[in-house]
Amino acid sequence: MRLGKSLTFTFQVITAGLALAFVAVILKPELLGDLAPPASPPPATVTALSASMAPAPGSYADAVARSAPAVVNISTAKVVTERPNPLFQDPLFRRFFGDGPGGTPRQRLETSLGSGVIVSPRGHVLTNNHVIAEADQILVQLADGRVGEATLVGADPESDLAVLEIDLPDLPQILVGSSEALRVGDIVLAIGNPYGVGQTVTMGIVSATGRSQLGISTFENFIQTDAAINPGNSGGALVNASGELVGINTAIFSRTGGSQGIGFAIPTTLGQTILQQIVDHGRVVRGWLGVEIQEMTPDLAESFGLDSAAGIIIAGVLKGGPADRGGIEPGDIVTEVAGKPIDDPARALNLIVRLAPGERVVLKGWHQQAPAEWTVEVDERPKNGTR
């Protein structure tokens, strides 16, 4: 009983104390004094610091800003004459149906879209030959919205490259990097005008280098990338993570016509050589020996009585050509051109075309199973010529 009274008294005292404390805080809040926690600093300071910091890791915005202004959209137009339907040439058909509209040639305007890259302050634009082939009019639109008509300086179907020139003030120019420094796994960006939607940037890596024997062009040394490349990207820029041009986007491997993650670009090492020759000569000047060559295989080497399959077999010699004048005959085996060994037809072709017309070069190899040496004066390679 006494314990119950004690608890009741204690509870009454605590309740009265809390009530008095509450009234005191309401009437005189300053009594809290230093018990209140310090005010938190405004978050605006943190936001201001974040805005002044560098872009987040993994961003390639600086590379795009550095290169994209020099990537242009190209639109072409050409007049195509359609042949009349052969049925209208048949007298019996014309007797019954007369000379309908299908009996006379008709003309229509054909347009196409692509991309290009401004590579010099003189307004030279590097693009693909197939983008501008047979075009009657070529218009170039810059990233800043300006549009100008372009003139064709020269084209090289064998490498699928062409050089245009535009006359506009204050043209941006892309910084050209080294395609030879590329390694498989390097980040690359493809910039162009896919499907005509406007300038677009896609990202990927270098999947392979030195791709050849794809049947795209005569001279092939492609950079393979999985950056999305679609129709309209042709002639656009492939740039590295620093925004430097390393390739000209050229083709895709696709079963549907869309990107499948396998795209090919012409490296800048070849692009710069073609550009310089077209600007200097209006065409590409290549060496030519006038031979047809065949790959050497182990079985063929054994049949020729050779221990090694190095070199190429001369399958044919053009009468009166450089090789014929130098004494080379069908069945001869060439293992060295101008001091450089060759082990396949692709390398042989690349070595021969780099020779200067009029230059005298030494070829080494085998003639009727005996070591042989020939001195040949190089001619200029004709269009669609032999090696």
Which residues are annotated as catalytic? 130, 160, 234
Asked if 128 and 238 count as a contact pair (C-beta separation under 8 A), the reply is: no
Amino acid at 216: I
On the CB side of 355, how many CA atoms lie within 13 Å of its CA? 26
Distance of alpha carbon 315 from alpha carbon 348, whole angstroms:
14
Asked if 248 and 234 count as a contact pair (C-beta separation under 8 A), the reply is: no
Read off φ and ψ for residue 30, nearest 5 degrees: -65, -15
Distance of alpha carbon 81 from alpha carbon 94, whole angstroms:
22
Report the candidate in 379, 374, 361, 158 with the shortest Cα–Cα distance to residue 289.
Answer: 379
Backbone dihedral region of 353: left (phi > 0), alpha (psi from -120 to 50 degrees) or beta? alpha
Beta bridge partners of 149: 139
Report the candidate in 324, 320, 340 with the shortest Cα–Cα distance to residue 332.
Answer: 324
Helix intervals (H) in the chain: 2-27, 44-51, 61-67, 91-97, 129-132, 268-281, 298-303, 322-325, 345-353
| Pairing, β 312-317 against β 187-192 | unpaired
> Exposed, middle or buried, 101 (CB in 10 Å: 0-12/13-18/19+)?
exposed
